[in-house]
Amino acid sequence: MSIYDPFAHYYDADFLDHLDDLLFYRELGRRSGGPLLELMCGSGRVLVPLAEDGFTITGVDISPAMLARARARIKDAALAERATLIEGDVATVALPEAHFALAFVAINSFMHLDAVKDQLAVLENARRALKRKGSLVLDLFNPDPLAIAREDNHLSLDRSYQLDGKQVQKFVAIDSDMASQISRVTYLYDEIDAQGMLSRRTMQFNMRWFYRYELEHLLSRAGFSVRAVYGSYDLDEYNSSSPRLIVVAAPVK
pTM: predicted TM-score of the whole model, two decimal places? 0.93
Please tell me the predicted confidence (pLDDT) of residue 153: 87
The reply to whether domains 5-143+210-251 and 149-208 share a CATH topology is no
Q: What is the DSSP letter of 95?
A: -
Q: To 10 degrees, the CA torsion angle through 8, 47, 139, 109?
A: 30
How far is residue 102's CA from residue 38's CA, in Å, rounded to a whole number? 8
Q: How far is CA 119 from the centre of its chain?
A: 14
**In the CATH hierarchy, which fold is given to the domain comprising 149-208?**
N-terminal domain of TfIIb (2.20.25)
Q: How sure is the predictor about 13, in pLDDT bands with cuts at 50, 70 and 90?
A: confident
Whether residue 169 contacts residue 157, with contact meaning beta carbons closer than 8 Å, is answered with: yes
Provide, for the chain, the percentages of residues in helix, strand and coil under a 3-state DSSP scheme, each rounded to the nearest 5.
30, 35, 35
**Domain segments of the chain as ranges:** 5-143+210-251, 149-208
How far is residue 215's CA from residue 245's CA, in Å, rounded to a whole number? 10
Q: How sure is the predictor about 3, in pLDDT bands with cuts at 50, 70 and 90?
A: confident
Please tell me the predicted confidence (pLDDT) of residue 122: 98
Q: What is the DSSP letter of 180?
A: T
Q: Which residues lie closer than 8 Å to 177 by C-beta, 6 or more apart?
A: 183, 184
Average pLDDT over every residue of 168-192: 94
Q: What is the DSSP letter of 230?
A: E
- Domain 5-143+210-251 - what CATH class? alpha beta
Whether residue 143 contacts residue 210, with contact meaning beta carbons closer than 8 Å, is answered with: yes
> Across the chain, what does the average pLDDT equal?
94
Whether residue 140 contacts residue 212, with contact meaning beta carbons closer than 8 Å, is answered with: no
Q: How sure is the predictor about 238, in pLDDT bands with cuts at 50, 70 and 90?
A: very high
